[in-house]
Amino acid sequence: MPPALRPILLASVFAVSWLAAAAQASAPLRTGVDATFAPHAMVKLGGGLQGFNIDLGQELARRMGRAIEIDGTEFSGLIPGLNAKKYDFVLAPVTANAERAKTLLFTEGYLNTDFAFVVKKGAPDIQSLEALQGKTVAVNKGSAYEQWARENAPRYGFKFDVYGSNADAVQAVQSGRADANLAGNTVSAWAAKQNPAIKTSYTIKTGLVWALAFRQDDKAGRDAAGLALKCMKQDGTVGRLAQKWFGFTPEAGSAAVTVGTGQGVPGLEGYDPTPVVLNCP
């Protein structure tokens, strides 16, 4: 190549690379939720989606200067969709744990997640996990609740059935096909509030959080979303969304109001302890 052409070629490569990066930065964020997982995500009567995580995602995208496209699908298809690059991240509540951290990158948690059982209104309350002996528990396919049921069924002597959505799992309790439904505490409280035929019962404290999930090779995406999430926690936005959709004000020290030092969930793979300096608008 003639020396005179090299600067021109290098300039052209730089321009193409810059344009590609700019196009990616301005493209809509693509994500998905389980649209039956009320009140985190649910279908509106007039069309579209609503819920805590819908509001969270829309505000997150606004602060990142991006539009956002949110698919409603089954939870079990979200992580495969992320790995296939159909989605940029998973907006649905994903419990951050050691097993998932082997293949995913997490932001810091935005809500604490405990597990709660739902039973029929007139049924006796579940007083302990030992009381599950001989019962059938309904869980959502691909969720942390299915994982918990699979790991603990032999220990406590219960059976479990897996359903494509949590709404179907709750319906199994109402119809008598299951004795209890196990889901997140926020989801269970919402379901009981909306349906007088069921009630919440025993709660399992987990010490776990819900976080936004990214591919392992997308640290830049995780960190960008993590910065926006920190700002949303710092100015009280996440707390206000919790009050709006769940009816409670997050406690001091809870994930909804605590801004972490680094990026990710401490103690899990992928956590970056480097202190973050926020420059929130």
Question: What is the DSSP track for 40-95?
Answer: TSEE-TTSSEESHHHHHHHHHHHHHT--EEEEEE-GGGHHHHHHTTS-SSEEEEEE
Do the domain assignments include residue 23?
no
Q: Are residues 169 and 93 in the same domain?
A: no
Residue 22 has pLDDT above 60, yes or no: no
| CATH number of the CATH domain containing 136 | 3.40.190.10
- HSE-CB of 68 using CA atoms within 13 angstroms: 24
Residue 279, in any domain of the structure: no
> Which residue is listed with tokens 């707390």?
239
pLDDT per residue as tens digits for the range 188-239: 888 888 899 999 999 898 999 999 999 999 999 999 999 999 999 999 999 9
Residue 60 to residue 225: CA distance in whole angstroms: 7
Rounded Cα distance, 109 and 210, in Å: 5
Task: Give a yes or no: residue 16 inside a domain.
Answer: no
Same domain, yes or no, for 150 and 175? yes
Give dist(CA 165, CA 140) in Å, integer: 5
**pLDDT confidence of residue 24:** 52
pLDDT band at 16 (very low <50, low <70, confident <90, very high): very low
Residue at 152 is within a domain: yes
Q: Is residue 213 part of a domain?
A: yes
Whether residues 108 and 218 share a domain: the answer is: yes
Give the β-pairing of 49-50 and 111-120.
Answer: unpaired
Length of the chain, in residues? 281
Between the alpha carbon of residue 157 and those of residues 119, 129, 177, 271, the distances in Å are 18, 10, 17, 36
My answer on whether 118 and 173 are in the same domain is: yes
What is the C-alpha separation between 52 and 49, in angstroms, rounded?
10
Question: 50 lies in a domain?
Answer: yes
- pLDDT exceeds 90 at position 249: no
Expressed as residue numbers, the domain containing 146 is 114-206
Q: What is the mean pLDDT of residues 94-99?
A: 94
- Residue 274, domain member (yes or no): no
pLDDT digits (tens, 9 = 90+) for 172-199: 999 999 999 999 888 888 888 889 999 9
- Tally of structural domains, the chain: 2
pTM value is 0.75
98 with 217, same domain: the answer is yes
> Measured between alpha carbons, how far is 228 from 174 in angstroms, rounded to an integer?
40
Q: What is the mean pLDDT of the chain?
A: 91
